[in-house]
Amino acid sequence: MADGFKVLIAGGSLVGLGLALALEQAGIDYELFEKGAFAPQLGASIGLHPQSLRILDQLGVEFDLQEGVVVPLQCRCHFDENGYCMDEEWVLRHIQRILGRPILMLERCEALRVLHGHIANRAKLHEHNAVLTYEETADGGVMVTTVDGSTHQGDILIGADGVHSLVRQLMAEQISRRDPARGAEINHAFTSEYKCVFAVSRNDPNQPFLPDATIHSLYCDGHSAAVATGVPGLVFWFFFVKTPLTRWPHCPRFTDADADALIEEYASVAPGPGYTIQDLWTTRVKSSLVPLEEGIVPQWSHGRVLLVGDAVHKVTINAGLGGNLAFEGIAHLANALVALLKDSPSPSNEQITAMFGRFEQAHRPRATTVLNMSGQITRYEAQDTWFLRFASRYISPWVSDRWKARLYADFSDAAPYLDFLPLKKKGSVQGTVKGS
C-alpha cells in the first residue's frame, strides 16, 4: 500500500502479533521485536468473545483457533459462600445464537501459537530482542535500539509491550522533559485493589471438577472465583482476593511462596459442588499470582510513538474483556493507519499526530466503558457493597437470560472490525436453547 512506510512494534504477545497480521493483510511493512520467545508456555488462558472472533475471522485465524476448542462455553452457575446455586443461566448460549459466534476459552499459549503460525513473513519477527531505547530522527522517522545492539529505522513505533511497558516509560521520560507533571501521570496511571491466581488444572474426564462448556462463579465477601471448561481435559480457573489499594509503580509483585500461602489460607473454599481451591491447586499444570491493575493512561502518544493494549489501558479480568479490548484497539489502529496511507503514502509528523488522535478518539470511549464495566463486575462478584451483594442474590437471578444476552450482543456488535477487509457474515447457530 505504502512503499517505504514501516511500523515498528515493541511486544509480540496477542496484541503485537494481531497487529502484525492486520498490517500484513493491509500491505503495510513492519518489524516486530519481542523480549522472549513467541508462544511461550506462560500465562494461563484467554477468553475470546464474538467481537474478537469477528476480527480474527477477517484475518483468517478463527477456524484454527476453534479447531482445538470443541466446547464453546454455554452454561454458567452462580454459587454463594455456602454452595447454594443462586442462578443457573444459559446467557452464553443465547449470545452464540444471536451473534453466530461463541465465547471461547483456550490456553493463551495456544492462541499465540495460532497467531504466530499465520504470519506470512517470519523474517519480520524478532524474538529475544526487545526494544531498549528509541529516538525520533531528523528526517521524520523513529529509530529503535534493541537488546542485540542493532538499530532499526521506521516511521512509527507502537508500544504493545504490556502493562510493564518499557515504551510507555521511555515516552513518559520524553514528555517529562517539558511537562514533569504529565510524565508522572503517565507513570502512575494504574491502580490495583485485587490480586488473582490464574491457573490451568487437569480435568479428569472420569471424575471432572465440572462438565465441559460450563463456568462456575463463586461470590463471597472479599473474594471470588471463576472456573471454566473450554478445552477437554483442562480447567481454567481464577481466584480473586481484595487487597489494599496501591498505585503503579508500587503495585505488588508476588512470588511462588506468596501463591502457596494464599492457597493455604483459602484451601477449603469451594467454587462449585464437590471440589475446592486446594483440589484445583493440587492438579494444576501452570499458575501465577498477579495484581489486577486498572486504569487508562492519560496520554496515548507522543511524536511518532503510540501505546496500545495493556500498555495504555488495563482492566480487571472477571468479565474477560481485557484481551478483547486489545483486539478492538488493533482494529481501530489499523483502520486509521490504512485510511491515512491511502491518502498520504508518506505522511508528515502532523498527519501522524492527527492519525494517532483519531485512533484515540475512536478507541478511548470503548476502553473507558470496558474499564468501568470490568471493575464493577469484579466488585460485584467480591460482594464489595451491600447493594452489589443484594443484586447478585435477589435481582440478577430473576432477569431473563435472553435479555442479558441481548444487552451483551448489542455491546459486542458495537465493537469495531477491520474496514479494509471483507466482513464475513455468520448465520445463527441452530439448535434448541435451554433456559429463559
pLDDT at 138: 86
What cell was used for 266?
A: 483459602
Q: Which residues pair with 158 in a beta bridge?
A: 9, 306
Residue 290: inside a domain, yes or no?
Answer: no
CA torsion through residues 14, 63, 337, 156, sign = positive
Asked if the peptide bond before residue 249 counts as cis, ω within 30 degrees of 0, the response is yes
Residue 283: inside a domain, yes or no?
Answer: no
Helix (H, G, I), strand (E, B) or coil at 35: coil
Residue 406: Cβ-neighbour burial (10 angstroms; 0-12, 13-18, 19+): middle
Which DSSP category does 224 fall into?
E
Helix (H, G, I), strand (E, B) or coil at 107: strand
pLDDT at 63: 79
Given strand 142-146, what is the order of strands in its sheet? 131-136, 142-146, 151-154
Distances from the Cα of 373 to the Cαs of 52, 244, 368, 370, in angstroms?
Answer: 18, 21, 8, 5
pLDDT at 42: 63
Residue 111: inside a domain, yes or no?
Answer: yes
pLDDT at 355: 98
Return the ∠ at Cα 152 (arms to 146 and 155), rounded to 5°. 125
pLDDT at 212: 93
pLDDT at 140: 86
pLDDT at 38: 83
How many domains does the chain divide into?
1
pLDDT at 62: 84
pLDDT at 435: 39
CATH of the domain at 103: 3.50.50.60
pTM equals 0.93
Residue 136: inside a domain, yes or no?
Answer: yes
Full domain range(s) for residue 133: 6-190+295-414
Residue 233: inside a domain, yes or no?
Answer: no
pLDDT at 405: 97
Q: Would you say 121 and 17 are in contact if contact means Cβ atoms under 8 Å apart?
A: no
Beta-carbon count within 10 A of 134 CB: 25
Residue 429: inside a domain, yes or no?
Answer: no
Residue 209: inside a domain, yes or no?
Answer: no
pLDDT at 64: 82
Residue 286: inside a domain, yes or no?
Answer: no
Question: Could you read off the pLDDT tens digit of each residue along the chain, which spans 436 residues?
Answer: 556 899 999 999 999 999 999 999 999 999 999 998 887 666 678 999 999 999 999 999 987 877 766 689 999 999 999 999 999 999 999 999 999 999 999 888 889 999 999 999 999 999 999 999 999 998 889 999 999 999 999 999 999 999 999 999 999 999 999 999 999 999 999 999 999 999 999 999 999 999 999 999 999 999 999 999 989 999 999 999 999 999 999 999 999 999 999 999 999 999 999 999 999 999 999 999 999 999 999 999 999 999 999 999 999 999 999 999 999 999 999 999 999 999 999 999 999 999 999 999 999 999 999 999 999 999 999 999 999 999 999 999 999 999 999 999 999 999 999 999 998 766 433 333 333 3
pLDDT at 432: 35
Tell me how far apart the alpha carbons of residues 8 and 142 are, in angstroms, rounded to a whole number. Answer: 9
pLDDT at 361: 97
